[in-house]
Amino acid sequence: MHVLSLRRRDRHGARTVRPPTGPRRRRGRRASALGLAVALLSSGLALGALAAPAQAAARVENPYAGATPYVNPDWSAKASAEPGGDAVADQPTFVWLDRIAAIEGTSEARGLRGHLDTALAQGADLVQLVIYDLPGRDCSALASNGELGPTEIGRYQSEYIDPIADILGDSKYASLRIVTVIEPDSLPNLVTNAGGTEGSTEACATMKANGNYEKGVGYALASLGDIPNVYNYVDAAHHGWLGWDSNLVPAAQEFKKAATANGATVDDVHGFIVNTANYSALEEPHFKVTDTVNGTTVRQSKWVDWNQYVDEKTYAQGLRSVLVAQGFDSGIGMLVDTSRNGWGGAQRPSGPGPTTSVDAYVEGGRVDRRIHAGNWCNQSGAGLGERPSAAPASGIDAYVWAKPPGESDGSSKAIDNDEGKGFDRMCDPTYTGNGRNGHNMSGALADAPLAGHWFSAQFRQLLANSYPPAGDGGENPGEPGDTRAPSVPTGLTVSGTTADSVSLTWSASTDDTGVAGYDVYRNGVKAGGTSTTSYTDTGLAASTSYRYTVRARDAAGNVSAASSAAPATTQASGPGGPSGLKAQYKNNDSAPKDSQIKPGLRLVNGGTSAADLSKVTVRYWFTKEAGATAFSTSCDYAQLGCSTVKSSVTALSSARTGADHYAQVSFSSGSLAAGADSGDIQLRLNKTDWSNFDESDDWSHGTGTSYADMPRITVYVNGSLVFGTEP
């Protein structure tokens, strides 16, 4: 949300629990027994199907996978009313419960039940909420101060969390996956702003001393974690706050402390979110933290300032590893708020800066155009970022719009209000800064309203500077050069389905400079892109309904409005055998550049009938690199028995992305019952000269050390693809 905290070396009650209905269940991603894991995986194959309101949704690894997210009509109407706003008004955003009154609703916005009821009416099965009303809230930023005083932990529990838990626990909403972001900024403030450094505040020291942030977060995690269809994500600030060596591990330790406070356990945490309501770039494409200029590392540049991360994607992935090392489940996933970190428009660099000095190199190439990475309030020049999407990168559950674009970060001058929100000079465009932003100008927009209120000028700027660009079917304010989007694709038709795929065709769009390609959306989330007028969406669940739309884009990045929707339902059984087979994978080799590849495989039958294993093959796709062209393969262990497992390596006639060979696994005999899995299969392959591989860019390679679905490992029945995506 806000503050960049300087590195430490140079700057910086009793819980009332509702009576349980049975033994406290394990809420983590790992099941407590293999049978439970198989049952959940089997249920998870129908993620896209809409359940009856009273039917409980099966707990899944990634709540965003295959989901239809709720679009908040309150936000959507405001976005649509702005010029060009229709281009993004259908995006799912989080609902902020930032005061007790927001639970019941106000004259300007519906309450929690209203949102949940509207989600059901929309046919959505995923709702996103921000839980944000701790006592002494946001001790380092006055703009987002809250209504509860530092000691009012009792009110927080009984008047805020308990009513939310009661509503979310209503069986009427059991079919919804409910994602919660728990208390932005709270725990990071305890790490960096409560210890007497230049960026510290007395209010943060008070909250660290009384422990009410940790007690409140723990109570929220435990209370909401008791609800089977709630997925808790804890806020983890951003790389420009916690990315330094001196902050990263202490932050993970603080998160662990809060996650085991006041009745909570680490199993109440499904994952973490970074960049909430902030502006840090998702990726810096023109420089890496490992780059050097004339012998000086990028870490020594003024902008990076010895941070070990330069963007949110690498920070999220790096922090995830640190969190697992602290005792969080190895299956935790990360979210990244990309609502306002696109940084497009005319000021976006197209390449690296000059190599005359490390500062020139970074300053000229960085896409994050803030004056200082510590600036957090209504930033001038910002743009919309990546649209919400599921599983966009390793270890990341989704890119999300946690902060609804167009909602102010804070007022640019003092405004009387009854919401407990103060005036923070970091929202004043004339402010010359403080220790947290290196005493630089604030970079804030003028004439901003209270935090959370609609800020039309900000929304228009975000839309104009969107990256990827947001087309509106006409003139897109602020974009240079070609600003006209292609025509809307027409005639979207489902041309075929299998148990795990849907094939689509449509009529070509037109554009004044030419159509560059098309983006295909499944249930409102981008599934892929193509340069032709047809597309096959693979890796789907059997007997499941989906909804597709298509948008056209041109070379300038202008994007059309969405086509009319085409519904599709996958078949109940795949060609040549039963549906529901899928591959799971874990990495049994922590050294990606040694002489062996050691995949762990598990075959899962989530279908309704037994699978004849003699008809099943599995392919692991990889690149050979230099060295011998002959291979040896081995089965080190198989629960089915290595005598039934056959393996071989085949060279592709032409190289593909991430693969020029595949290792094929087949079975001499056996049957896999519905709802069962094959158990562990530990494989190994090497070149006959034992030369090294480089697995880091291999199509099927992953870094997870516990079994999880792997769509880049393909499964076939009688030679027909039934799971996964080939390179």
Residues with catalytic function: 138
Strand partners of residue 496: 503
Of 726, 711, 585, 709, which Cα lies nearest the Cα of 657? Answer: 726
Helices (H), 193-284: 202-210, 212-225, 239-242, 245-259
| Distance (Å, whole) CA 89 – CA 85 | 6
Q: What tokens does 107 get? A: 């004259």
624, 687 contact by CB (below 8 A): yes
**Residue 693: alpha-carbon gap to chain centroid:** 30
E-state strands within 29-68: none
Separation in Å, CA 36 to CA 268, 270, 518: 18, 17, 40
| Distance (Å, whole) CA 261 – CA 450 | 33
Q: Kindly write down the DSSP assignment for every residue of 400-460, as one continuous string.
A: EB-S-TTB-SS-SS----SS-----GGG-TT----GGGTT----BPSS--STTSB-HHHHH
SS3 541: coil
List phi, psi (to 5°) of 140: -115, 0
Stated length of the chain: 727
| Distance (Å, whole) CA 672 – CA 175 | 30
CA angle 356, 359, 363 (to 5 degrees): 105
608, 628 contact by CB (below 8 A): no
| Distance (Å, whole) CA 476 – CA 558 | 8
716, 617 contact by CB (below 8 A): yes
- H or E element: which one contains 665? strand 659-667
Of 467, 384, 6, which Cα lies nearest the Cα of 191? Answer: 6
448, 427 contact by CB (below 8 A): yes
What is the CB neighbour count within 10 angstroms for residue 697? 13
